[in-house]
């Protein structure tokens, strides 16, 4: 079980990484990766130095379940481990790769015990269902775990049944999350991940009364949304502004409408007329700015943690 920030899961699991980004110094590893990922992006996860013993217990073919916000969201299979040997030179190569993929943690350390993955599938297993299948009683998954075989049998059976029934779909296209038809969902995921990185408690598709909001951010101890986002790629702009007005009137939330430049003129007309009451309070954001900030935030988030620049 591999809990992680959404920015890290998106980066190395969902979206994948181009081999050219990593500048792999070990020729043996570079060759193995070119063979394994000849037709698509590289997918990987990493463990800390303190988790080396867990890493040693993992074998090719083992299933990795990616976890975030009380749900397991991706299943993948281990196809390769690195470092190949315990020589410090190999560990340094692994550290360089991990740094290029995920950056560093608050102590400036990275995740050098690498698992390279294939057979990626998108799943949706709530933590409660996981507990039912395995006999655990977790309230949350706090760190990387290797399940005992007897505990994992029913879980593996369920994954197999879901796959055979078509409920679980293999992800074969390397840029599936970035394709134009999924832009709305991609930006929702980015906003969720940014909120998590900043230190808020984010929620996607959050409902209150008869309203459903694309993304909301709560302060760690907050009871109402501090920030509310609507992502408007197409469809009814008036409905999106109506939801934002409701959030502002009810909770005095910071409200954001994320859209494309082609929609800006229509939005500004509505803000100057029907929704003039929230014209000053509504922040209109270009989808490209969300992508840019997401990449920047993910790269330097560890420094913010180190300097204590977090939401409280």
* CA dist., res. 30 & res. 27, Å (int): 5
* CA dist., res. 92 & res. 287, Å (int): 37
The pLDDT value given to residue 198:
86
* CA dist., res. 301 & res. 252, Å (int): 28
What pLDDT band is residue 161 in, cutting at 50, 70 and 90? confident
Q: Is the pLDDT of residue 160 over 50?
A: yes
* CA dist., res. 165 & res. 167, Å (int): 6
Other Cβ atoms closer than 10 A to 176: 16
Q: What is the pLDDT of residues 114-147, one digit of tens each?
A: 999 999 999 999 999 999 999 999 999 989 999 9
What pLDDT band is residue 248 in, cutting at 50, 70 and 90? very high
Respond yes or no on whether the N-terminal peptide bond of residue 83 is cis (omega within 30° of 0): yes
The pLDDT value given to residue 305:
58
Report the topology of domain 180-307: Trna Endonuclease; Chain: A, domain 1 (3.40.1350)
The pLDDT value given to residue 243:
96
The pLDDT value given to residue 128:
95
Positive or negative: CA dihedral 241, 246, 249, 252 = negative
Q: What is the pLDDT of residues 73-82, one digit of tens each?
A: 999 999 999 9
Q: Is the pLDDT of residue 308 over 70?
A: no
- Taking the domains of the chain in order of start, what are their residue ranges? 2-170, 180-307
**Residue 141 token pair:** 């998954």
Q: Does domain 2-170 have CATH number 1.10.10?
A: no
Q: What is the pLDDT of residues 169-192, one digit of tens each?
A: 555 444 434 443 578 888 998 999
């Amino acid at each position: 079980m591999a809990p992680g920030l959404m920015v890290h899961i998106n980066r190395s699991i969902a979206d994948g990484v181009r081999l050219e980004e990593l500048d792999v110094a070990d020729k043996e590893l570079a060759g193995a990766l070119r063979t394994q990922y000849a037709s698509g992006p590289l997918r990987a996860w990493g463990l800390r130095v303190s988790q080396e013993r867990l890493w040693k217990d993992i074998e090719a073919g083992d299933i990795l379940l990616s976890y975030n916000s009380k749900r397991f969201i991706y299943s993948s299979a281990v196809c390769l481990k690195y470092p190949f040997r315990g020589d410090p030179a190999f560990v340094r190569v692994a550290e360089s790769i991990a740094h290029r993929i995920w950056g560093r943690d608050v102590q400036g350390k990275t995740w050098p015990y690498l698992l390279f993955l294939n057979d990626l599938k998108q799943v949706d297993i709530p933590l409660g269902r996981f507990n039912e299948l395995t006999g655990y009683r977790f309230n949350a998954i706090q760190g990387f775990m290797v399940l005992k075989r007897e505990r994992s049998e029913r879980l593996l059976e369920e994954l197999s049944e879901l796959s055979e029934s078509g409920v679980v779909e293999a992800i074969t296209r390397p840029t599936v999350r970035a394709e134009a038809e999924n832009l709305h969902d991609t930006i929702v995921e980015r906003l969720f991940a940014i909120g998590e990185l900043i230190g808020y408690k984010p929620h996607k598709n959050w409902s209150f009364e008869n309203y459903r909001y694309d993304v909301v951010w709560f302060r760690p101890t907050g009871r109402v949304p501090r920030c509310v986002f609507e992502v408007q790629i197409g469809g009814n702009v008036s409905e999106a502004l109506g939801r934002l007005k409701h959030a502002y009137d009810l909770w005095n939330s910071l409200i954001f409408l994320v859209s494309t430049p082609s929609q800006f003129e229509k939005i500004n007309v509505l803000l100057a007329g029907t929704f003039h009451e929230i014209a000053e309070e509504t922040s209109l954001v270009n989808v490209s700015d969300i992508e840019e900030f997401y990449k920047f935030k993910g790269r330097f988030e560890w420094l913010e943690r180190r300097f204590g620049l977090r939401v409280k």
